[in-house]
Structure 1
Amino acid sequence: MEVDLVIRNATVATASDILPNQDIVVKDERILCLGQGLSALFKARREIDAEGAFVTPGGIDSHVHLHQDNSPTGDTFATGTRSAIAGGTTTILAFASQERTDESLFPVVEEYHRRSAGQSYCDYGFHLILTNPTPKILQQELPVLVKDEGISSVKLYMTYQPLKLVDRQILDVMTSTRALGMTTMVHAENSDMIDWITERLEERRMTDPYYHAVSRPNIAEDEATYRVISLSELMDIPILIVHMSSKIAAAHVRKAQTRLLPIHAETCPHYLFFKSDRLRGEHFEGAKCVCSPPLREDQMDLDAMWQGLKNGTFTTFSSDHAPSKFDHPQGKKAGLVNGTTSFRKIPNGLPGLETRVPVLFSGGVLKDKISIQKFVELTSSNPAKLYGLDKKGTIAPGFDADLVIWYPSSRKMTPFALTNDMLHHDIDYTPFEGMEFENWPRWTILRGSIVWDRENGGIVGQMGYGRYLKRGRSTLSKPREVFVNEFRPY
């Protein structure tokens, strides 16, 4: 049989197993079979010798902000997904963001389709950010978007004045998302605490970037996390709390999980490696690391994030790629006007789409902080299950041939210190500048096609090869069927 691709001598890593000496056979964009000694049975248009290296499923970054109006200097779908494949990510889930004045979600989704169509190097889908959840939207529009667009997740904010919902609105949304089997994501910080502290810092002219972290203390995340877990328990609905950074907040999640509540959580690379002292520095450099929740002051919070990755508190590991250029008046330097600083005006967010997978591989797997199986679970398998990507997230027959081939121990990649000019985003800095990497994706393969070849041209995929993904229901985040039938709005 003629096939498209055979990868020989692979050490296949999934969320449950390590399988050495495997051949992976790819035909018509899917994995046809894998096993030992298969390469002699097939005539392949192309063969790759993995030389015993780990082969992992393509990364799924389920928390990515691209081409959003509130980030005019950020990445587009073209530049963001270009950087994704260079870092071993083959699928992203980006946000279609509703403005407070939008009375319908349909034009919002149409607009994000216009921004992304033909622009993506990798496969992609949308989450909906809900800021104006009217009865019409919740009862009439969401069912259509689930059915026709395959959008099976929403994100809610408990902070930021243009975005936040009060508890009653969150409960209204939960009623509909529960009935539809949608995954409900929540940014959990106490908005009133943050605003109160911010006003008092400004009165004292304590407005340098470092005070952004002071204005958003751990307790603001801890309280909001506990509160949204309580709302979830009231509604008996699964939720995902995004980009967690606090030890106590993570402990709230862990305690809820031990009571068998369907609470999922996510953390990000910057909460593993950086502390709030990164917000200090001359020449406004600290603005580069302004994000929300902020980087934390105490090492115990970073250690707790690692612990949460290992013990299952965190279901997914995402970049929260929400970058703004640094040296631009509409970027991070919007917080610097005529020599006067204002952390309130600094756009929140960091670049991290390209570095997410390599950071956890080099800084986690190769440092024996997590296993390769846990790495696959966090970066690929769990996001696929959580967000209804039923052909993604593992290496098995019938699944999309989304694969990352690493460098083998017998042919070690020369370690290097990362610089921003090595990356493929459209941002003028990386918070991981200077970090040493001992491995990086050698090849990235999307649906059987090589899109990244580190030693032969780098980006070899084509813009527009990435497809929009209509997603199904989550297999991790499901309400009980009796309630699905009772609350279904259509």
Structure 2
Amino acid sequence: MIERMSALETISILAERNAEGAYITPGGIDSHVHLAQANSPTGDGWETGSRSAVAGGTTTVIAFASQKRSDPSLYPVLEEYHGLSRNLSFCDYGFHFILTNPTPEILREELPVLAAKEGITSVKLYMTYEPMQLSDRELLSIMLACRSLGMTTMIHAENSDMIALIIEGLEAHGNTAPYFHAIARPRIAEDEASYRAISLAELVDAPILIVHMSSETAMGHVRNAQTRLLPVHAETCPQYLFLLSEHLKPHSHDDFEGAKHVCSPPLRHDVKDLEALWQGIANGTFTVFSSDHAPSKYDHSGGKKLGLVDGVARFAKIPNGLPGIETRMALLFNQTEACQPPDKARLGLPKFVQLTATNAAKLYGLGGRKGSIAPGYDADLVIWHPAGKGEVNISQGMLHHGVDYTPFEGMHVRNWPRYTILRGELVWNKDQGGVVGKMGYGQYLRRGKGEVIMGKIGGVPRGMQEHERQYWL
């Protein structure tokens, strides 16, 4: 196939030759993945992570170039991360910045240049984790800077002080097994921080995306903001739709195995929590569906087993994060009308496409090129198996990541990508050869300004007068 073949030309050829009546969807965009992260030395690098992406139907990933507190500039951070990814990716890719030292020079001088010349038009901010946590004042300054540049601001919303208090109490009572990670980060910590993030954004009229949401109440805060036409977006992940905190409990053969399911926010306790998030999927509260692929090996002294200290489990020492870049698309596709009877399907195919591709493209400045099947777009496609074929029981042995487990072990899906096509090239052929793309074929994407998908700019915060901001902005 020709590299720059259009999506429609590619579909025409494939429909004649080998689509066999199967569904064709846009290549997935996973807009929240952690690859080659310094704080996760046993996790995936670009070769294994991007290989896993195309095997699961994802043709574009956006990963994180992470600034340390001691970094006075973002330029060396970017160059170092380019060095970790250059010529190593099987799929197309872009970067977000994680900001932890938002100096005035970075906000005024560096971000505009990096957005215009490098196409990095999104940042991620943390309200928790001491090495990365920002104050409300810092959050406001970054929101204002990003708003003026048309950048997307992503926020990890959990109340750090609540969590610190609970961890201190749990450790004092000897409750340090992996399961207590879910106790240490209760829903109320996410609820409060999400409401606060929305309030800060409303004050300065800034669009935000709250990442990896897991709480019904926090989701309700987002829904309420959206009904008031605030530009507030939300993301959730497979683990919060399919897994519960019981996976963190001891197993008969390995008391520490629950460490495999340590992530933040944590897995929640009740099936009702899962059902509430599925309602958010169905009613449009969630804008994007990402993996938050943040893996560490389990059976490794530098991975999850950092949480075994002198033979004693210490949940607070377990690296956070789960692998999921390869399983994301199939897990959600399995819940659509393509795989389930109409009365059992949780979402339609148009919603599936929006959540896994189209909305992420718009939100992160790839609209017009990625995320849709239309004239002028890259020929990034996923061809699924015809109905009744392609069923899979997910297992570690079938996956292509560089991690030694999957949290979705044993889950059954009724379809799996048969072909993944990136810019007209076949890069995954499940039946013949598996990953057939070449490492290094993936291109770095310089992105444009993100679009506001939910709500609009220009609203007036509750209780403020129409032109009140002009006195202080």
Partner of 1:237: 206
Do the aligned residues in 2 keep the contact of 1:77 with 1:115 (CA within 8 Å)? yes
Partner of 1:157: 126
Q: CA deviation at 1:414?
A: 5.0
Do the aligned residues in 1 keep the contact of 2:8 with 2:373 (CA within 8 Å)? no
Partner of 2:173: 204
Q: CA deviation at 1:175?
A: 1.3
Q: CA deviation at 1:437?
A: 1.7
Aligned counterpart for 1:442 among listed residues 418, 424, 449: 418
Aligned counterpart for 1:413 among listed residues 378, 382, 389: 389
**299-308 vs 86-95, greater mean Cα deviation:** 299-308
Q: Distance in 1 between matches of 2:272 and 2:74?
A: 41
Do the aligned residues in 2 keep the contact of 1:178 with 1:479 (CA within 8 Å)? no
Partner of 2:194: 225
Aligned counterpart for 2:218 among listed residues 249, 252, 256: 249
Do the aligned residues in 1 keep the contact of 2:391 with 2:416 (CA within 8 Å)? no
Q: Secondary structure at 1:231's aligned position in 2?
A: helix
Q: Structure 2: which amino acid aligns with 1:380?
A: A
Aligned counterpart for 1:459 among listed residues 431, 435, 449: 435
Superposition pairs of residues 45-444 of structure 1, within 5 angstroms: 48-282=17-251, 283=254, 284-365=256-337, 366-367=339-340, 368-390=345-367, 391-409=369-387, 412-413=388-389, 415-444=391-420
Q: CA deviation at 1:298?
A: 1.6
Q: Structure 1: which amino acid aligns with 2:146?
A: T
Q: Distance in 2 between matches of 1:33 and 1:354?
A: 27
Cα deviation digits, residues 370-394 of structure 1 (max 9, x gap): 1011100100000000001020011
Q: Distance in 2 between matches of 1:167 and 1:159?
A: 11
Cα deviation digits, residues 60-81 of structure 1 (max 9, x gap): 0000000000001000010000
Partner of 2:463: none
Cα deviation digits, residues 135-194 of structure 1 (max 9, x gap): 000000000000110000000000000000010000111110011010000000000000
Q: CA deviation at 1:475?
A: 2.0
Q: Structure 1: which amino acid aligns with 2:355?
A: L
Percent of aligned positions that are identical? 62
Q: Structure 1: which amino acid aligns with 2:318?
A: I
Q: CA deviation at 1:364?
A: 4.2
Q: Structure 2: which amino acid aligns with 1:472?
A: G
**365-374 vs 318-327, greater mean Cα deviation:** 365-374
Partner of 1:10: none
Q: CA deviation at 1:300?
A: 1.7
**453-462 vs 364-373, greater mean Cα deviation:** 364-373
**362-371 vs 465-474, greater mean Cα deviation:** 362-371
Q: Structure 1: which amino acid aligns with 2:102?
A: P
Q: Secondary structure at 1:234's aligned position in 2?
A: helix
- List gaps (5 residues or longer) in structure 2: 460-466
Partner of 2:464: none
Partner of 2:462: none
**233-242 vs 470-479, greater mean Cα deviation:** 470-479
Q: CA deviation at 1:58?
A: 0.1
Do the aligned residues in 2 keep the contact of 1:64 with 1:319 (CA within 8 Å)? yes
Change (3 A) 1:271 1:364: farther
Partner of 1:9: none
Q: Structure 2: which amino acid aligns with 1:293?
A: P
Change (3 A) 1:34 1:70: closer
Aligned length: 452
Do the aligned residues in 1 keep the contact of 2:236 with 2:288 (CA within 8 Å)? yes
Q: Distance in 2 between matches of 1:441 and 1:107?
A: 38
Q: Distance in 1 between matches of 2:34 and 2:318?
A: 17
Cα deviation digits, residues 383-432 of structure 1 (max 9, x gap): 000001020011111100000000112xx325332210100000000011
Q: Secondary structure at 1:278's aligned position in 2?
A: helix
Q: Structure 1: which amino acid aligns with 2:384?
A: W
Q: CA deviation at 1:47?
A: 6.3
Q: Secondary structure at 1:164's aligned position in 2?
A: coil
Partner of 1:17: none
Cα deviation digits, residues 224-259 of structure 1 (max 9, x gap): 000000000001111000000000000000011001
Do the aligned residues in 1 keep the contact of 2:335 with 2:347 (CA within 8 Å)? no
Per the normalisation by structure 1, the TM-score is: 0.89
Q: Secondary structure at 1:444's aligned position in 2?
A: strand
Per the normalisation by structure 2, the TM-score is: 0.93
Q: Distance in 1 between matches of 2:411 and 2:270?
A: 21
- Let me know the Cα RMSD of the aligned residues: 2.0
Q: Structure 2: which amino acid aligns with 1:440?
A: W
